Amino acid sequence: MRHLAKDLDLLTELHEQVLQEAGQGDLVEVLRRFQDPDGSDDGDLAPPRGPDQVAAVSRAATVRLHLTNLADERHRARSLRTEDGEHGGSVDTGDVGPTVGSVGPQARDRFARMCLHPVLTAHPTEARRRAVTTALRRLAEQLDRHADPTSGPTERAFARRRMLEDIDILHRTSTLRTTRPQPVDEVSTVLSIFDTTVFRALPRFQRAVEAALAAQDEGPVDQELPSLVRYGSWVGGDRDGNPHVTAEVTRATMEAQAGVALRTLQANVERVARSLTMDEEGTPPSAALREALANDAVALPGDFAGIAKDSPSEPHRQKLLVVAHRLEATAQGAASTAYTDPEELLADLALVRTSLRDAGDRRAADGELLHLVWLVQTFGFHLAELEVRQHSGVHVQALVELLGHVRAHGATVDGRPVDEPERAARDPQVLDALARHGWPIALPELSPATREVLDTLRVMSWLQQRWGVRCCGRYIVSFSQGADHLVAVRALARLAVGDRPLRLDVVPLFETGEDLRAAGSTLEEWLALPSTRSWLEERDRRVEVMMGYSDSAKDIGPAAATLTLHRSQQQLVSWASRHDVELTIFHGRGGSLGRGGGPLHRAITAQPTGSVDGRFKVTEQGEVIYARYADVRLAQQHLERMASAVLLADSPDVVRRRERAGERHAALGERLELASRTAYRALMDTGGIADLVAEASPLDVLGDLRLGSRPARRGAGSGRSLADLRAIPWVFAWSMTRVNLPGWYGLGTALAAETDRDALRAAYREWPVLSSMLDVAEMSLAKSHEELAGEFLDRAGRPELTATILAEMRRTREQVLDVLGQTTLLEHKPHLRTAVERRQPLIDALSRVQLRCLEELDATGADTEEGRPWHRALLLTISGMAAGLQNTG
């Protein structure tokens, strides 16, 4: 921690120098006063302070919080590189080496069938502009250079000058977007993560696993470690509530992804080729390699002649240069020399590796060449598996229109007339017949909305033909509430593509509490349909089911959602076992504490037995993506933690303890679920709760931050009802009020009803479900502030609701501390406590500034000449608080 404090002092000093040079020395004093423990609660900004001065203060505080986050990030990355044990080195911290050691010899077989599947989304939860992120990345490089013990005075002076320059740029860069990002912008942002860290972190992660396994092996092992990771993406494919994501956007997204994948593969192949300079006399090529080169000379006469001239008597290098040439042709669509699929590329790499091994050069065969194999296995030609998501209601509307045309033509479906299109659109048997036998009429002129649904399915088929079946085959149905919602996609696909090839994997997404409880019966009904059974056999009985954390928590409260999700997963595991199905549960976890966020390692090991089984798929979004992939070593650690948790989740000792605890505390869980849900719904069903959060917080202006291309509200709703208010702005708004209600409300009442305190404490120690739930609530409460929360809530003029919410906040804090055996929040989590306390004074100050802005806007209105500067100042406070709180949405 000493090095962290040193970095913070340096960055603070440089920031203050930048402010002084900019003629804003008064801001230095304001920030110091904010960070003074004795003065941080003073909301007076030394009048007179108009909107311009308030905006300047907010920008300066935001920069300071970004610099604090940067120092923390670099400290973690350096600690991991030096392996000092502060942020890794044990099973508890998720390091793969100690975890493999604890699991023992069976670890290798488990890794052989493991699949980690992070899915990147464009959900608008990242408040930073890309320009800010880029500036912070440059600062990170120079801070590392300055802290490097091998750097001399000249090198440190250079780094200091560069940091001053970048902090100056950061200070003068607006944290607010002037235009709303388009889907193409979101695609570019996500693709930059691959270029920056993922491509380099993946081989490092694989090597870490390989080394851990080798330490357990007794003698040589022929079993080669396959790539353990497959990336997915919703960016450019998720059209649920986002009219800007069209079939054309999806097509262009995959083209961009393929361009990055092929360009990276080509560059890496060329790099490795330049290193394989062994000559054929000392390292003779295999007969198979000689034959392949002879064929290449015929297929690529001009190009091969140049390769042979530049690399004489270097057959292994020649073959890799041919591979690079063919990758370039694949990107350009030159059919005569392009690879047909990644498997053909893997065959060429295997040919070179086998030849090297036969010649006695195992080190080269299993070195950087193996990295190439892992990259191809992971990314293929498509980079990430692009997934389509759409709301079930959109499909129903399209089907009603289409079936109306069927009725108008007097046609029948499976011999039955379509008398009522609305009913037929919800009839699984009718839809199943359409999926299997096709539509009885030719395609009529359709509305733009219905045409777009069909075009989406058509573009999926086209992309698979161009980039392979892995590139875009999953279709996620939001708010799946019955088998009709699932078979609807196949019925529409049959109309869209007819008998043309399309590998379509329909993935139900269960989101509300009711839908989660009914998931088993929905899947039973779906599986009974002939079209589902045929698809299941074609896919080797593999089924994917997605579970929504954010909407379930918004629907029934955080504690009840956690326990309902756990029980639903248990039911799905039983369903899969009964039907001999290989189940993958897709976890739609958000970054915020109110949307399923929290420590991923603990969350994975808390999953019900059989629900992981070597496969783990999860969404990653917004600030979570940046936190996990900002640095190569951090990205490697993230993958290690995920792999370690998946490995542990099904280890005999963990399974035995988890099942024993689950049986022992099942009744407790049921009581907590019922009591917390009742308390939460009592508040939600109170008239005006949506108005309260809108009037107490800056909810109505969150859309003006232009965080993403997706609208903040569903449909044309006002945002003043729970139905049209999305989970992300719901959580974001509560975080701004410093209440953080979605992370804890209802839990205190449920815990207080339990008289056997020893049983509660035992459940926390023994049952990962409860311990994970309480730890998330503890963190959420640690980032709340009762006094400030009261001031925000008072703005809504509903004193009875304010009293209810604050009473539950106090009750939950007391109950959590009692169960955890603590006197203060985060008492047993020193790293986390320090991180929160370090940011708290500035966040509290920004909260008070935000209250001032809201008061001014109440008086002037946001659209008036007097109000517009306050509106901008308010947006700056939101951006700053998001930087400090770090998991706002």
User: Closest Cα partner for 207 from 343, 344, 375?
Assistant: 375
Residue 407 is encoded by which pair of tokens?
Answer: 């009725």
DSSP category for residue 197: I
CA dihedral for 31, 36, 41, 44, sign (positive or negative): negative
Dihedral-angle region of residue 825 (phi above 0 means left; psi in -120 to 50 means alpha; beta otherwise) = beta
Phi and psi torsions of 548, nearest 5°: -95, 125
Q: How far apart are CA 260 and CA 812, in angstroms?
A: 48
Contact between 871 and 51 (Cβ < 8 Å): no
Q: Supply the angle between the helices 392-408 and 483-497 in degrees, to the nearest 10.
A: 60
Catalytic residue check, 123: yes
DSSP category for residue 710: S
Residue 386 is encoded by which pair of tokens?
Answer: 């692009």
Q: How far apart are CA 388 and CA 245, in angstroms?
A: 10
SS (H, E, C) 29-67: HHHHHHCCCCCCCCCCCCCCCCHHHHHHHHHHHHHHHHH
Beta strands 412-413; 388-391: pairing state: unpaired
**Contacts of 285-291 spanning 24+ positions with Cβ under 8 A:** 285/315, 285/316, 285/355, 285/359, 286/351, 286/354, 286/355, 286/358, 286/359, 288/351, 288/354, 288/355, 289/315, 289/316, 289/319, 289/351, 289/352, 289/355, 290/315
Q: How far apart are CA 189 and CA 186, in angstroms?
A: 5
Q: How far apart are CA 467 and CA 331, in angstroms?
A: 10
Residue 589 is encoded by which pair of tokens?
Answer: 């976890």
Catalytic residue among 123, 371, 382, 871: 123
Q: How far apart are CA 171 and CA 64, in angstroms?
A: 9
Residue 428 is encoded by which pair of tokens?
Answer: 């699984």
Catalytic residue list: 123
